């Protein structure tokens, strides 16, 4: 087909048809990357919905999908991805495999020294919402987003090149990093935000038994800070499992930052509170 990035890449398989897998299925179609998309999905309802939505052309078992596809996109929860990836590479010849997980170290490690390691490119598109399942998938949301490619030198040159071109074609900005550094940074700029939201929701739900009060009074500020508390545990427990040490480091730092606020209030040290707030305002210079 004319718009294909590479004449040998005709069929894609998307494994895991949730928010992220579904969004990538749309990106494959909308950008005419392949002529056929096979879906792999353990949840029957999700599989049916994905077909209805036109995310994929057919649903196949993992092995058959891997056999038929030229380009394999792994979008299952990260602990599942880490067990699927080595099995997928067993059945791969010249195909190209990427994963889209929010953690990288364990997934990359699962195929360390694998004879087919070179066919795999580790990547992480920095996009998501608090919703889940195939119906949460969106068109045209990946453009201008960052995609982190990890340990690129461990991928075959042609596989890396195809993946880079694919991401550029769908409009993503590429950043390179090793898998270990990725997981440390992500604990700070993404994973901790989920815990702060989950804990905030639990705090408020604990107190505000009258749900109407929350509904009536919730300001846009509260909605914004608590938004991620709607996120799916099936996605996030695996992320915290795989990035436990880094997340714990950040969580400890976060609790100690909160204690500074607590102490400034308890001691009525308003100058210190002012300093803490002005310090945090520096985020303005970085995030517009």
| Contacts (CB under 8 A) with a copy of itself, residues 13-72 | none
Residue 202 interacts with a copy of itself (CB under 8 A)?
A: yes
According to the binding rule CB under 8 A, does residue 194 interact with a copy of itself? Answer: yes
Q: Which residue has the tokens 């071109």?
A: 165
- The gap from C-alpha 13 to its chain's centroid, in whole angstroms, comes to 18
Should residue 206 be labelled a site residue for a copy of itself when binding is judged by CB under 8 A?
Answer: yes
Site string for a copy of itself, 88-107 (x = CB under 8 A): --------------------
Query: Smaller CB distance to a copy of itself: residue 47 or 81?
Result: 81
Please identify, among the stretches 60-68, 70-78, 81-89, 240-248, the one whose residues bind a copy of itself according to the rule CB under 8 A.
240-248
| CA atoms within 13 A of residue 18's CA, in its CB half-sphere | 21
Q: Which two tokens stand for residue 67?
A: 């056999």
Interface residue with a copy of itself among 68, 112, 241, 242 (CB under 8 A) is: 241
As a whole number of angstroms, the distance between CA 88 and CA 91 comes to: 5
Counting residues that bind a copy of itself (by CB under 8 A) gives: 89
Q: Which of the stretches 59-67, 87-95, 112-120, 198-206 binds a copy of itself when contact is defined by CB under 8 A?
A: 198-206
Q: What is the DSSP string of 128-172?
A: --S--SGGG--SS--TT-EEEEESGGGS-HHHHHHHHHHHHHTTP
User: Which of 35, 129, 138, 178 contacts a copy of itself by CB under 8 A?
Assistant: 129
Terminal alpha carbon distance of the chain:
41
């Amino acid at each position: 087909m004319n718009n294909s990035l590479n004449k040998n890449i005709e069929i894609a398989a998307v494994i895991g048809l949730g928010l992220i897998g579904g969004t990538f299925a749309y990106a494959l179609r909308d950008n005419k990357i392949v002529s056929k998309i096979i879906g792999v999905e353990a949840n029957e309802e999700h599989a049916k919905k994905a077909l209805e939505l036109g995310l994929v052309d057919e649903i196949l078992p993992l092995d058959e999908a891997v056999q038929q596809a030229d380009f394999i996109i792994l979008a299952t929860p990260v602990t599942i991805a880490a067990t699927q990836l080595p099995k997928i590479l067993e059945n791969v010849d010249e195909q190209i495999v990427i994963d889209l997980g929010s953690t990288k170290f364990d997934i990359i490690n699962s195929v360390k020294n694998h004879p087919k390691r070179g066919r795999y490119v580790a990547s992480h598109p920095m996009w998501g919402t608090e919703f889940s399942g195939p119906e949460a998938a969106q068109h045209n949301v990946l453009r201008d987003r960052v995609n982190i490619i990890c340990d690129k030198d461990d991928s075959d040159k042609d596989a890396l090149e195809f993946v880079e071109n694919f991401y550029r074609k769908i409009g993503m900005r590429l950043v390179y990093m090793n898998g270990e550094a990725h997981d440390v940074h992500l604990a700070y700029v993404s994973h901790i935000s989920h815990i702060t939201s989950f804990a905030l929701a639990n705090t408020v739900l604990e107190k505000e038994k009258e749900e109407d009060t929350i509904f009536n009074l919730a300001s846009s500020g509260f909605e914004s800070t608590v938004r991620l508390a709607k996120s799916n545990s099936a996605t996030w427990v695996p992320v915290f499992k795989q990035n436990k040490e880094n997340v714990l480091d950040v969580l400890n730092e976060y609790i100690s930052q909160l204690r500074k606020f607590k102490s400034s209030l308890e001691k009525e040290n308003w100058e210190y509170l002012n300093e803490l707030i002005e310090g945090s305002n520096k985020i303005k210079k970085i995030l517009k």
